[in-house]
Amino acid sequence: MKKLFLCTCNKTLNKRLDFARIEKEIGGTFESVQVHDALCLEEGLAFLESEVSKDDAVVIGACTSQIIGVPIERRLASEQISFVPIREHVAWVHKDDKKGATNKAMVLLNDGAIHVDYMVPKTSVDLQMEKKVLIVGGGIAGLKVASDLVQLGVDVTLLEPPEFNKDSYVEMNQFMADSDTLTDTVKGLLSASKGSKKFNGTITSLSGRAGLYSVTLKLEDGKDKDLLVGAIIVATNTEQSPPSLAKTAHYGKSDNTLFVSELATLTSNLSGKTILVAQDPTYHDSDAEGSYLLREVTKAAEKGNTVIVAHFNIYTKDENLYRKARESGVIFVRGTLERVDKKKGQLVCRLENTLESQVREFAVDYLVLQPECKPWSGTRKLAETLDLDLDQSGFIKTRYSKIKPVQTSKRGIFIAGNAKTPMNLNDALASASNASLEVIKSIIAEGERKGWIPIIDEELCDVCEACVNACPNDALRRVGDEIKHIPMHCEFCGICVSACPTRAIEFQSHSKDSWMSRIEAIAENHKKLQGKEPFTLVYACSECANASIDQAGFTGKGYSANNYVIQFPCAGMVSPIEILKGLVVGAEQVIIAHCPPGGCHHQAGDHLSELIVEFTQDMLKTIGQDPDRIKATYMIAALPNKMQEEVAHRG
């Protein structure tokens, strides 16, 4: 039975929409049409629960699925539910056009009716998880993750590179913190992480999926060891090396030349000394290093020392640090250290001020250098073995710096601490805690993961690997002469479907046929109700773009009723076929709305949809059609007027 439930949203929507007309005219499509005043409240949910049985197909015309989706899906026995946001997408944005809004509501409700026809229950993902964790790198961040997880009762294996030596760890890896703090922290973490297994060796191979990764380790004694783990955390460190200035500055030969990290220990009970901090002009430091330098020189100056910083570019995102340093009396000189001579226990430094083209010579008590910070030398090899992406500087790339800062390009592999970028001690510890939480969430948490997945037709598949290349999540892999889908890695985005040239991959509930008939029906119903008025189709991704259009409703940024939004799981799922279909059925323009550049929830959809539109525009040009009839644009919840602007004018 196909049932339609309309919500008046506490008797407000029926003032903007002609509910009586909707019931009368659309009634034929559904077996029953019922109107309720508050479907989102307990009484409404109870009403739905009593009305809907397992075999019913349900269309809910109410507020956005972002609000009402979860409670309804949880309560209803049926899994064939389509949500039509007649509030945010219709009633609230077409306030002055009751007839047009009612017509649009009917068009969209009809679309919902077709959508449920194609809908199948969501597929449950096999969540079998090995509740074991492998940590690569037992530095501060690695130890922190290990201690967090051990305390939560997780089986932890800690893998160290063969050259690792516990005793000299603190001396070897000055961690943008003074050695006292470091020694204490390491001591604390070592005792807290007792109970984790420790090996010295390297990873040689990785296979399987997140939750069931099988890893081969090559241990220090030359033996291989196989492990089955649920998640891997990469907590490799940075490597610090003396800068090219080190030789000029007599580093290692003079007791008075030291690194920034040693400055705090030195000045803890020292005042009235002259200290020169020299930056290497050939090395560009990161934000963390620049900020650390500024903090340390401020502390040294506050102790009553004369601190001079010869710099080129101290990079920091916190302007206050610089101001504070100046206020504490630090003298900043733009220039390079040219020459250093030892004289009577002091160092005579020759400094060229490049701003004033002046060369000065003065004696200092201490010379402080900033070491160069690079990713651990084994990072590249490790990334190859684990199939991870690296950023420009050779650090491991995070999946999405804002909302997924400890996730890597591969599901089930996380990063903690300096593996991502040079960090100071506190940031590294925070990042490690974050990684432990994500691991706990992914491997320990019980629950169900469901979604519509791509189904591969082996008959039609040419094994061209277009889907494998397109999938941003490593959820499709070629195994022999077949393409295999790994539901655990799948984010249900549908990008693979857009890439497939043969239609060997069909997405559950979103088959190509379903798009075709939905687009056709919208156009047909529009023409029936609105006559010859031109209309626009907006293919919106279900993440940012849909939220933006909902926001347009909340903030009342109205637009013409002749704009129909069709929700795609991800804008990357739109292929030229759906775009051209929109034009063929008579849409004046087709807009593909995606997440902001670089902000796609599935990593690639924003970029792919831009490419698809560019490609389709080229096709249109060659057949003499106006390419400006289609466009790709980003929409984001923070910009509620984006929808209004985009549909208002062409081109």
Partner 1 sequence: MDKRENLLDTIRAIAVRTPTKDIEVPEKVVGFGTIDYKAQTCSACKKCILACEPGALDMEETLSMHDYLRVTMPQEGFRSKNRETLVTLLQNLKGDYDYGDVQAVSVPDGLAGYGSIAWSAEQCIACEKCIEACPENCLTLQKTYKLAEVVGTVESPPRPPERKDWEPFIICFVCWECSHAAADLAGLMHLHYPASIRTIRIPCSGALEPIHIMTALQQGADGVLVTGCLLSECHYGGDSPKAGNFMQYDFVKFWSDILEEIGIGGRLYIDFASAAMGIKFAEIVETFTDKIRHLGPSPIRVKTEVQE
Q: Measured from the CB of residue 218, what is the shortest distance to partner 1 in angstroms?
A: 34
**Type of residue at 263:** L
Is residue 630 part of the contact set for partner 1 (CB under 8 A)?
Answer: no
79 vs 124: CA distance, rounded Å:
12
Partners of residue 565 on adjacent β-strands:
538
Task: Return the number of the residue (8 or 609) whose C-beta is nearest partner 1.
Answer: 609
Q: Measured from the CB of residue 505, what is the shortest distance to partner 1 in angstroms?
A: 10
Q: Which two tokens stand for residue 309?
A: 């910083």
Q: Measured from the CB of residue 615, what is the shortest distance to partner 1 in angstroms?
A: 5
CA atoms within 13 A on the CB side of 466: 16
Task: Return the number of the residue (35 or 516) whose C-beta is nearest partner 1.
Answer: 516
Is residue 458 part of the contact set for partner 1 (CB under 8 A)?
Answer: no
Q: What is the DSSP letter of 196?
A: B
Q: Which of 415, 443, 620, 647: binder of partner 1 (CB under 8 A)?
A: 620
Q: Measured from the CB of residue 580, what is the shortest distance to partner 1 in angstroms?
A: 4
* Piece of the chain touching partner 1 by CB under 8 A; list 254-262, 373-381, 448-456, 619-627: 619-627
* Piece of the chain touching partner 1 by CB under 8 A; list 57-65, 396-404, 432-440, 496-504: 496-504
Is residue 577 part of the contact set for partner 1 (CB under 8 A)?
Answer: yes
Q: Measured from the CB of residue 585, what is the shortest distance to partner 1 in angstroms?
A: 10
Is residue 455 part of the contact set for partner 1 (CB under 8 A)?
Answer: no
Task: Return the number of the residue (559 or 568) whose C-beta is nearest partner 1.
Answer: 568
Q: Which of 281, 405, 558, 576: binder of partner 1 (CB under 8 A)?
A: 576
Q: Measured from the CB of residue 606, what is the shortest distance to partner 1 in angstroms?
A: 12
Is residue 390 part of the contact set for partner 1 (CB under 8 A)?
Answer: no
Is residue 575 part of the contact set for partner 1 (CB under 8 A)?
Answer: yes
Say how many residues touch partner 1, by CB under 8 A: 37
Rg of the chain, C-alpha, whole Å: 31
**CA-based angle 300:306:291, to the nearest 5?**
40
* Piece of the chain touching partner 1 by CB under 8 A; list 159-167, 355-363, 416-424, 463-471: 463-471
Q: Which of 374, 503, 527, 631: binder of partner 1 (CB under 8 A)?
A: 503
Task: Return the number of the residue (57 or 500) whose C-beta is nearest partner 1.
Answer: 500
Helices (H), 555-604: 576-584
Q: Are strands 454-456 and 358-364 parallel, antiparallel or unpaired?
A: unpaired
Q: Measured from the CB of residue 464, what is the shortest distance to partner 1 in angstroms?
A: 3
Closest by CA to 648, choosing from 552, 509, 519, is 552
Q: Measured from the CB of residue 579, what is the shortest distance to partner 1 in angstroms?
A: 9
**CA-based angle 242:248:252, to the nearest 5?**
50
Asked if 274 and 304 touch (Cβ cutoff 8 Å), the reply is: no
Q: Which of 40, 470, 521, 529: binder of partner 1 (CB under 8 A)?
A: 470
Q: Measured from the CB of residue 338, what is the shortest distance to partner 1 in angstroms?
A: 47
Element (H, E) at 203: strand 197-209
Is residue 607 part of the contact set for partner 1 (CB under 8 A)?
Answer: yes
Give Cα 155 to chain centroid, integer Å.
28
Give Cα 112 to chain centroid, integer Å.
31
Task: Return the number of the residue (361 or 458) whose C-beta is nearest partner 1.
Answer: 458
Q: Which of 177, 235, 330, 500: binder of partner 1 (CB under 8 A)?
A: 500
Asked if 278 and 369 touch (Cβ cutoff 8 Å), the reply is: yes
Q: Which of 625, 627, 639, 641: binder of partner 1 (CB under 8 A)?
A: 625
* Piece of the chain touching partner 1 by CB under 8 A; list 50-58, 279-287, 298-306, 456-464: 456-464
107 vs 110: CA distance, rounded Å:
5
Q: Which of 204, 228, 360, 615: binder of partner 1 (CB under 8 A)?
A: 615
Task: Return the number of the residue (430 or 577) whose C-beta is nearest partner 1.
Answer: 577
Task: Return the number of the residue (416 or 590) whose C-beta is nearest partner 1.
Answer: 590
Q: Which two tokens stand for residue 325?
A: 């340093």
Q: Measured from the CB of residue 504, what is the shortest distance to partner 1 in angstroms?
A: 8
Which residues lie below 8 Å from residue 251, measured CB to CB, with a gap of 6+?
Answer: 242, 245, 257, 369
Task: Return the number of the residue (167 or 459) whose C-beta is nearest partner 1.
Answer: 459
39 vs 61: CA distance, rounded Å:
10
Partners of residue 307 on adjacent β-strands:
275
Closest by CA to 389, choosing from 402, 400, 374, is 400
Q: Which of 464, 521, 529, 639: binder of partner 1 (CB under 8 A)?
A: 464
What part of residues 515-544 is at the interface with partner 1 (CB under 8 A)? 516
Closest by CA to 629, choosing from 597, 599, 594, 588, is 588
Helices (H), 362-423: 379-386
CA atoms within 13 A on the CB side of 84: 25
Is residue 608 part of the contact set for partner 1 (CB under 8 A)?
Answer: yes
Task: Return the number of the residue (398 or 498) whose C-beta is nearest partner 1.
Answer: 498
Q: What is the dihedral of CA 13, 15, 17, 22, to 10 degrees?
A: 90
* Piece of the chain touching partner 1 by CB under 8 A; list 390-398, 403-411, 571-579, 631-639: 571-579
371 vs 245: CA distance, rounded Å:
10
Angle, to 10 degrees, between the axis of helix 65-75 and the axis of helix 42-51? 50
Q: How many CB atoms lie within 10 A of CB 534?
A: 13
Closest by CA to 364, choosing from 399, 339, 398, is 339
Q: Supply the DSSP string of 96-110, one letter for each residue.
A: T-HHHHHHHHHHHHH
* Piece of the chain touching partner 1 by CB under 8 A; list 317-325, 555-563, 589-597, 610-618: 610-618
Q: Which two tokens stand for residue 405?
A: 């800062």
* Piece of the chain touching partner 1 by CB under 8 A; list 335-343, 383-391, 534-542, 613-621: 613-621
Is residue 618 part of the contact set for partner 1 (CB under 8 A)?
Answer: yes
Q: Measured from the CB of residue 612, what is the shortest distance to partner 1 in angstroms?
A: 7
416 vs 401: CA distance, rounded Å:
13
93 vs 95: CA distance, rounded Å:
6
**Type of residue at 22:** I
Is residue 482 part of the contact set for partner 1 (CB under 8 A)?
Answer: no
Q: Which of 1, 77, 359, 619: binder of partner 1 (CB under 8 A)?
A: 619
Task: Return the number of the residue (1 or 619) whose C-beta is nearest partner 1.
Answer: 619
The binding site for partner 1 (CB under 8 A) comprises 460, 462-467, 469-470, 498-503, 512, 516, 575-577, 580-581, 583-584, 607-608, 611-612, 614-615, 618-620, 622-625
